[in-house]
């Protein structure tokens, strides 16, 4: 200790008279030894330090005196003044003399509002204040702005800037501390503070207001004696107050402490500071000077600095204090290399992974207990989620002391949604609520069906989702439409589709009516008390409490205590929910009581209450209670000050992070003078205290310190903190023994013992990852220096996995299929898309067809391309079917049979002279189709004009008709005979002798088949509709890449069907009919594949330079035969369990919904 600051009464104490102490630990030990530890009030910087000291003191006291202790008085400064204020509020004389501060005749004379309530009050102050810069007419202020203003106003008030000071002369000493940056912003800040403090009436308090009132009371001559009476009443007559560990004080804190300079109770402050430190501790010196001015005595032991190397003190700590930020010194301390190590990692991800390995190494190899390790950063929230994730995967017990946003807890989101659903109907929100495990209703609802049908109905996200009557009526209209469809003559596919859809719609309507009953909207107003009761009623109505208890009971019943880690992790998850709901209910109580005190029985609408509740919840935070003596401690650097750990790990030691960037004032229009200098001094003190003061109280025999920084963030290069450079300058830490960079990974030289953990493999998944990326050495024994053996921690499967790699055993990459799957596979009817899916990506086939994973259906509010394609398919089908029933449009084409007979086929023959009739029919069918309720949406209505237009350049359906008629010239010899034709047949693989070697069942639908006969020869063509040219296949997809099978298999099965009827047909071509008009040189919307005779293109009116390809060195029949053979190759691969990822990234990856599983596109 370098400074002791004390009042006159302290000179009468035994502690002062002995002066036999050198640090805070010896002061505390003095009172433990003499048995008077309960007579002191110990004030420390943080609650964590207070808890730590209580545990240590209780343990040490019992070891010495063999008896337990009564209550210990250890507080941080805020809790100490709250204790004082609580005693003040009980004093009737004080509360009666200050009626503006205290609400009389209440159960409690004051409410200490939370951070969340501050934001709510700030929003109200914002609405009332006369603002010049931050008020925007007709624009609702964003919540983020209110939050920021609340933080800044509270920060100013913590510094002592309140309404009392505002009303003082601008030339006052208080105002002289500030520099005005922007007059308008400053004026708005003053207005906000004045309005905010007007709301803090009738017993509402925050910490700055408590400081203000206590300081007023203690400075008033008439009530100054109250100070000592309150101390006596609260803590006892023989109390001694000791303050340790502080680096600087805010003005209200300083004013509060200054009142004890004349107290009848001994009061002292110890500071680890010396004048010899110069700029490092400049803020300390300012504090000392002020305390001296108000009457405190000062004692310093600066002579220790003159000969610290010769004295038996903490010389490293003194060295750091004197030289760490003394840029003119060339002193070198070699002791640091014994316990400080510096590590550079590539990025945050590698940083947290490396630290997890380090923790395992320290625990398993160095036998350091996990609760003796602390991992800290400038802000715990920056790293909390990353460490929570990696430590969960590594199964490392951990205590993370981040403050979790209340709104991030699922149960709170659900509660807020339940309240909002009482204000407005929202089908998406209802599905979300009912999908959670925290809500129970007495009905069985098919939520997947509700989501599916809601999407199909195209319920708008912007309006219709709030109108339940609209939704139910639209569903009923759709059901009526589907029921009428089922009365028509439908093929197998459509009948099955509409029957299933009818069942789903009936269930949807049934469930939706239940939802309307369970989630009614209310339109009444509430007082604060009734709003609180209303929320409790919601919790009861939807059985939220029962759901939480049920989840806890389920955890207990299913819990297997295989490891302590599993138990504590499960408990922590439950505790998170419990803490969240408890904090929510406490916040609700506070809001209700606050508004009751301010507005009494005044009523507000549900939406007004909901807005305030959302503001409060979004700002509130909670913490999961720490588990004593369990796991690694992860927190902020401030929280471990004065607490002893065997190992301290500081991460994020990069420039701009620690020290953080001083951003300057941007909002409030003013800032304290020399703010930038004060900021960097404060950052320096934090770093110095991390390196030294953890061994300050109840020191460990040994201590290790690891400092981590990163070289990159995304693609941006990062610089190490200047604090690292300061350390390098005064030490020899920049050596291979004490400084390590993970960029050295892979170099030949063996890593020294201090950093062997960097390349360790600590679990099976890492070995698997290396194996898959071909980075692992074939014989695992060659990795001996890189592998830390944790065999006792591995389960049997992991040990076996290591053994297989070591012995070079092949790990089977094939999927073992069940007998049931194989049997079902042989009976199954395949579609062409099944085969093409495997050909394109075997892994996607495995995920969809074997694991039965389905990507969520994406239904847009406007018509998607595939829906337009389906619309066109149905339109063309109905057009030709109606013509097929019209004798004027058909004739019988006789195909020559193999026995010489005729086989009659009814075909359609279009006549260009009847164009008007065809156009009228086509437009009538379009109007009929558009009556489908599924198309009842404003965005789709915009496209109806194009569908019904008579302009061939605007309506691509009329363009399609024009192309059909253009080809129907007098010399036209091809006639359509089958439309949306269902084929349900066996595909046969023939052997060389002509026998059947294998078969597969296929079920498919051919868009259009056309036939030609010259009396002797019959030729066949197949046409498939494609919405756009981008989805058209080409010849090499069929012949060489073997990815497309549609055309050859269609032709093959149609040929087989004719052969069964005694008709031999020759395959002529396959063609893709592009619906959307393409403006290229082809002069046609047809694109041919499997075309052997180039003259056919001329017959169809297609120019020579068209995109359609002609087969080269291969006949159409041979191409079909090759495709059939490849289908059966694929069959064998599937049955053999082969589902690999191809070496290249195929076209199928571009829009694949399963990239999250295979990672091909993202990598």
Structurally, the chain folds into a number of domains equal to 6
Q: Looking at 622, 650, 676, which one is the last position of a domain?
A: 622
The DSSP output letter for 310 is T
Domain boundary among 721, 736, 751: 736
Bridge partners (DSSP) listed for residue 448: none
The whole-chain average pLDDT of the chain stands at 79
Tell whether 908 and 992 lie within a shared domain: yes
Look up tokens 């000179």; give the residue.
11
Q: Tell me, what CATH number does 263's domain have?
A: 3.40.50
Alpha carbon distance 1109, 1048 (integer Å)? 15
Does residue 891 register a pLDDT over 80? yes
| Cα–Cα distance measured from residue 255 to residue 291, given in angstroms and rounded to the nearest whole number | 9
Mean pLDDT to the nearest integer, 465-477? 86
Measure CA 1068 to chain center: 56
H or E element in which residue 892 lies: strand 890-896
User: Which range is least confidently modeled, 258-267, 387-396, 661-670, 942-951?
Assistant: 661-670
Tell me the CA distances in angstroms from 354 to 264, 482, 684, 715, 759, one per residue in order.
55, 60, 26, 20, 9
Residues 616 and 631 grouped into a single domain: no
Q: Which residues contact 923 (CB under 8 A, 6 or more apart)?
A: 948, 950
Angle, CA of 1149, 1151 and 1153, to the nearest 5°: 90
Residues 427-442 have pLDDT tens digits of 888 988 998 888 888 8
Residue 1144 within any structural domain of the chain: no
Any domain includes 321: no
Q: Are residues 616 and 548 in the same domain?
A: yes
Question: Residue 1102: exposed, middle, or buried by beta-carbon count in 10 A (0-12, 13-18, 19+)?
Answer: buried
Q: Per-residue confidence at 812, pLDDT binned at 50, 70, 90?
A: very low
Q: Which of 545, 524, 520 is nearest to 609 (CA)?
A: 524
> Among the three residues 202, 233, 257, which one is the final residue of a domain in this structure?
202
- Is it true that the peptide bond before 781 is cis, omega within 30 degrees of 0? no
Shared-domain flag, residues 588 and 650 = no
Same domain, 508 and 384: no
Beta strands in 36-194 (DSSP E): 40-44, 73-76, 111-112, 178-180
* CA separation for the pair 814, 842 (Å, rounded): 12
Q: Where are any strands of DSSP class E within 170-239? A: 178-180, 204-205
Asked whether residue 878 is assigned to any structural domain, the reply reads: yes
> Are residues 53 and 193 located together in one domain of the fold?
no
Q: Is 473's pLDDT higher than 80? A: yes
Contacting residues for 315 by C-beta, under 8 A, at least 6 apart: 308, 309, 335
pLDDT tops 50 at residue 981:
yes
In this structure, are 441 and 397 located in the same domain? no
Q: What is the C-alpha separation between 689 and 320, in angstroms, rounded?
A: 10
The answer to whether residues 189 and 218 belong to one domain is no
User: What are the residue ranges of helices labelled H in 365-459?
Assistant: 380-394, 410-423, 427-435, 447-456
Cα–Cα distance measured from residue 200 to residue 598, given in angstroms and rounded to the nearest whole number:
9
Q: What is the pLDDT of residues 275-293, one digit of tens each?
A: 554 444 445 677 778 888 8
Q: Are 246 and 46 in contact (CB under 8 A)?
A: no
* 232 and 195 in a common domain: no
* CB atoms closer than 10 angstroms to residue 270: 21
Asked whether the predicted pLDDT for residue 467 surpasses 90, the reply is: no
Question: Which position has the token pair 């009818």?
Answer: 502
pLDDT in tens, 992-1048: 888 889 999 999 899 999 999 988 899 999 999 988 877 777 777 887 788 889 999
Give the closest residue to 15 by CA, choosing from 299, 218, 289, 206. 299
d(CA 198, CA 973): 93
Range of the domain at 37: 3-108+208-306
> Residue 707 is part of a domain; what is its CATH number?
3.40.50.300
**Are the beta carbons of 990 and 996 closer than 8 angstroms?**
yes
pLDDT reported for residue 1037 = 80
Which range (143-147, 715-719, 862-866, 1120-1124) has the least confidence? 862-866
Q: Which own/partner contact pairs does 846-854 have at CB distance under 8 Å and 24+ positions apart?
A: 846/815, 846/1139, 847/1154, 847/1157, 848/1154, 850/815, 850/817, 850/821, 850/1139, 853/1154, 853/1157
- Integer Cα distance of 160 and 251 in angstroms: 6
For 108-146, b where at least 16 C-beta lie within 10 A, e where not — what string?
ebbbbbbbbbbbbbbbbbbeebebebbeeeeeeeeeeeb
Helix (H, G, I), strand (E, B) or coil at 621: strand
Q: List Cβ neighbours of 503 (8 Å cut-off, separation of 6 or more).
A: none
Give the pair of three-digit tokens for residue 780. Answer: 């695992």
Q: Taking residues 658-679, report their average pLDDT.
A: 69
Residue 266 — very low, low, confident or very high, per pLDDT cuts 50/70/90? very high
User: In terms of domains, do 196 and 220 share one?
Assistant: no
The answer to whether 384 and 421 have CB atoms below 8 angstroms apart is: no
- Per residue in 491-544, pLDDT (tens digit) is 777 788 889 999 999 999 999 999 999 999 988 999 999 999 999 999 999 998
What are the residue ranges of helices labelled H in 664-730?
Answer: 675-692, 722-729
Specify the pLDDT at position 773.
Answer: 46
Q: Rounded CA gap, 131 and 188, in Å? A: 5
721 Cβ contact partners less than 8 Å away, ≥ 6 residues apart: 653, 654, 655, 657, 658, 659, 709
Torsion angle of the four alpha carbons 409, 414, 416, 422, in this order, in degrees rounded to the nearest 10:
180
Within a domain: 143: yes
Higher pLDDT, residue 1083 or 367: 367
Query: CA dist 453 to 450, 477, 533, 637, 714, Å?
Result: 5, 13, 36, 53, 42
pLDDT classification of 312: cutoffs 50, 70, 90: very low
Looking at the chain, the whole-number percentage of residues with pLDDT higher than 70 is 77
- Rounded to whole angstroms, the Cα distance separating 1012 from 576 reads 74
Q: What is the pLDDT of residues 609-638, one digit of tens each?
A: 998 898 888 888 888 877 777 889 999 888
Residue 751 located in a structural domain: no
- Residue 533 belongs to some domain of the structure: yes
Same domain flag for 118 and 84: no
One domain for residues 1066 and 961 = yes
- CA-nearest of 40, 34, 39 to 64 is 34
Cα–Cα dist 941/862, whole Å: 9
Looking at residue 463, what is its pLDDT? 60
Mean pLDDT of 638-662: 87
Q: What is the DSSP string of 744-804?
A: GTT-SSPPPGGGGGGG---SHHHHHHHHHTT-S-SSGGGGTTT----GGGS-HHHHHHHHH
β pairing state of 704-710 and 340-345: parallel
pLDDT of residue 119: 85
Q: What are phi and psi of 305, to 5 degrees?
A: -70, -25
pLDDT confidence bin for 305, thresholds 50/70/90: very low
Nearest to 934 by CA among 1024, 1009, 859, 823: 859
What pLDDT sits at residue 1161?
55
Residue 849 located in a structural domain: no
In this structure, are residues 1052 and 1009 in contact, taking their beta carbons and an 8 Å threshold?
no
Q: Is residue 851 part of a domain?
A: no
- Alpha-carbon distance of 318 to 272, in angstroms, equals 10
Determine the Cα–Cα distance for residues 723 and 656; give it in Å rounded to an integer.
Answer: 11
DSSP state of 828: P
Distant-in-sequence contacts of 774-777, Cβ < 8 A, 24+ apart: 776/805
The reply to whether the predicted model has a pTM over 0.85 is no
Question: pLDDT at position 483, please?
Answer: 92
Residue in 851, 1128, 1139 with CA at minimum distance from that of residue 1001: 1128
C-alpha to C-alpha distance for 828 and 1131, rounded to whole angstroms: 12
Sequence-distant (≥ 6) Cβ neighbours of residue 843 within 8 angstroms: 1139, 1140, 1141, 1154, 1158
Q: What is the mean pLDDT of residues 952-976?
A: 81
- How many angstroms separate the CA atoms of 652 and 655, rounded? 9
């Amino acid at each position: 200790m370098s400074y002791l600051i004390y009042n006159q009464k302290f000179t009468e104490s035994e502690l002062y008279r002995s002066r036999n102490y050198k640090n805070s630990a010896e002061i505390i030990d003095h009172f433990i030894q003499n048995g008077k530890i309960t007579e002191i009030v110990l004030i420390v910087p943080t609650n964590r330090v207070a808890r730590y000291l209580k545990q240590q003191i209780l343990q040490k006291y019992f070891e010495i005196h063999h008896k337990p202790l009564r209550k210990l008085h250890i507080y941080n400064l805020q809790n100490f003044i709250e204790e004082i204020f609580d005693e003040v509020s009980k004093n009737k004389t004080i509360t009666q003399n200050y009626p503006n501060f205290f609400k009389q005749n209440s159960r409690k004379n004051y409410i200490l509002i939370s951070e969340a309530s501050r934001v709510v009050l700030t929003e109200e102050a914002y609405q009332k204040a006369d603002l010049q810069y931050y008020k925007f007419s007709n624009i609702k202020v964003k919540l983020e702005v209110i939050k920021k203003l609340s933080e800044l106003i509270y920060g100013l008030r913590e510094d002592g800037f309140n309404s009392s000071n505002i009303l003082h002369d601008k030339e006052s000493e208080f105002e002289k501390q500030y520099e005005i940056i922007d007059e308008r912003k400053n004026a708005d800040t003053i207005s906000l503070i004045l309005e905010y403090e007007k709301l803090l009436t009738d017993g509402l308090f925050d910490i700055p207001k408590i400081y203000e009132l206590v300081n007023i009371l203690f400075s008033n001559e008439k009530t100054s004696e109250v100070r000592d009476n309150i101390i006596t009443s609260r803590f006892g007559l023989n109390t001694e107050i000791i303050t340790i560990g502080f680096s600087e004080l805010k003005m209200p804190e300083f004013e509060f402490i200054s009142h004890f300079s004349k107290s009848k109770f001994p009061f002292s402050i110890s500071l680890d500071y010396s004048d010899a430190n110069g700029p490092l501790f400049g803020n300390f010196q300012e504090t000392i000077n002020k305390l001296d001015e108000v009457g405190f005595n000062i004692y310093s032991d600066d002579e220790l600095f003159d000969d610290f190397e010769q004295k038996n003190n903490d010389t490293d700590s003194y060295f750091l204090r004197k030289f760490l930020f003394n840029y003119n010194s060339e002193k070198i301390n070699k002791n640091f290399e014994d316990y400080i190590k510096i590590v550079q990692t590539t990025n945050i991800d590698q940083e947290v992974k490396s630290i997890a390995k380090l923790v395992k190494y320290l625990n398993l190899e160095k036998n350091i207990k996990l609760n003796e390790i602390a991992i800290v950063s400038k802000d715990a929230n920056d790293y909390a989620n990353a460490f929570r994730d990696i430590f969960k995967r590594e199964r490392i017990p951990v205590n993370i002391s981040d403050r979790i946003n209340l709104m991030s807890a699922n149960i709170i989101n659900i509660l807020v949604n339940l309240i909002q659903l009482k204000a407005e109907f929202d089908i998406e929100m209802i599905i979300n609520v009912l999908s959670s495990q925290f809500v129970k209703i007495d009905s069985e609802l098919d939520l997947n069906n509700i989501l599916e049908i809601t999407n199909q109905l195209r319920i708008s996200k912007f309006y219709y989702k709030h109108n339940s009557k609209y939704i139910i009526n639209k569903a009923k209209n759709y059901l009526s439409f589907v029921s009428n469809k089922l009365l028509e003559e439908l093929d197998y596919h459509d009948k099955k589709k509409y029957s299933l859809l009818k069942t789903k719609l009936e269930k949807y309507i049934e469930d939706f009516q239940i939802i309307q009953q369970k989630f009614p909207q209310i339109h009444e107003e509430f007082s604060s008390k009734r709003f609180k009761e209303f929320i409790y009623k919601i919790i009861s109505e939807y059985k939220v409490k029962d759901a939480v208890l049920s989840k806890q009971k389920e955890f207990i019943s299913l819990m297997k205590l295989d490891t302590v880690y599993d138990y504590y992790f499960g408990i922590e998850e439950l505790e998170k929910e419990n803490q969240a709901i408890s904090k929510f209910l406490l916040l609700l109580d506070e809001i209700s009581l606050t508004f009751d005190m301010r507005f009494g029985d005044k009523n507000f609408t549900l939406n007004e209450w909901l807005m305030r509740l959302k503001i409060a919840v979004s700002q509130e935070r909670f913490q999961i209670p720490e588990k004593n003596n369990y796991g690694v401690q992860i927190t902020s650097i401030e929280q471990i000050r004065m607490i002893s750990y065997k190992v301290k790990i500081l991460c994020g030691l990069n420039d701009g992070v620690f020290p953080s960037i001083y951003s300057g004032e941007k909002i409030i229009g003013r800032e304290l003078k020399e703010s930038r200098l004060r900021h960097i001094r404060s950052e320096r003190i934090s770093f110095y205290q991390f390196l030294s003061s953890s061994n300050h109280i109840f020191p460990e025999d040994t201590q290790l310190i690891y400092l981590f920084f990163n070289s990159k963030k995304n693609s941006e290069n990062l610089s190490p903190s200047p604090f690292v450079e300061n350390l390098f300058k005064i030490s020899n830490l920049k050596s291979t023994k004490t400084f390590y960079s993970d960029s050295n990974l892979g170099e030949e030289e063996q890593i020294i013992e201090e950093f062997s953990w960097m390349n360790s493999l600590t679990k099976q998944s890492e070995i698997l990852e290396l194996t898959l990326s071909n980075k692992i050495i074939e014989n695992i024994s060659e990795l001996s220096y890189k592998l830390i053996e944790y065999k006792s921690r591995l389960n049997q499967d992991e040990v076996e996995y290591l053994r297989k790699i070591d012995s070079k055993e092949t790990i089977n990459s094939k999927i073992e299929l069940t007998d049931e799957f194989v049997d079902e596979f042989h009976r199954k009817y395949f579609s062409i898309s099944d085969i093409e899916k495997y050909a394109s990506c075997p892994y996607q086939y495995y995920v969809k067809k074997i694991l039965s994973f389905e990507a969520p259906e994406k239904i847009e509010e406007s018509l998607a391309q595939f829906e337009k394609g389906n619309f066109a398919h149905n339109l063309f089908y109905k057009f030709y079917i109606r013509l097929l029933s019209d004798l004027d449009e058909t004739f019988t084409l006789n195909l020559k049979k193999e026995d010489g007979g005729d086989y009659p086929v009814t075909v359609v023959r279009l006549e260009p002279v009847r164009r008007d009739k065809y156009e009228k029919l086509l437009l009538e069918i379009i109007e009929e189709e558009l009556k489908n309720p599924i198309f009842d949406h404003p965005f789709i209505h915009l496209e109806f004009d194009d569908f019904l237009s008579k302009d061939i350049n605007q309506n691509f359906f009329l363009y399609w008709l024009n192309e059909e008629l253009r080809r129907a010239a007098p010399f036209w010899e091809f006639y359509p005979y089958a439309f949306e034709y269902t084929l349900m047949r066996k595909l046969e693989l023939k052997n060389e002798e002509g026998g059947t070697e294998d078969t597969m069942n296929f079920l498919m639908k051919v868009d259009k088949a056309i036939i030609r006969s010259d009396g002797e020869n019959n030729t066949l063509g197949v046409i498939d509709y494609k919405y756009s040219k981008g989805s058209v296949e080409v010849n090499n997809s069929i012949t060489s890449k073997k990815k497309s099978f549609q055309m050859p298999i269609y032709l093959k099965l149609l040929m087989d069907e004719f052969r069964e009827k005694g008709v031999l047909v020759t395959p002529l071509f396959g063609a893709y009919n592009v619906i959307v008009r393409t403006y290229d040189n082809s002069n046609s919307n047809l694109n041919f594949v499997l075309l052997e005779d180039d003259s056919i293109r001329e017959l169809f009116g297609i120019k020579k330079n068209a995109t359609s390809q002609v087969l080269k060195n291969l006949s159409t029949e041979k191409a079909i035969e090759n495709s059939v053979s490849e289908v059966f190759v694929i069959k064998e691969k599937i049955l053999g369990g082969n589902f690999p990822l191809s070496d290249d990234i195929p076209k199928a990856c571009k829009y694949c919904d399963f990239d999250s599983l295979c990672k091909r596109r993202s990598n």
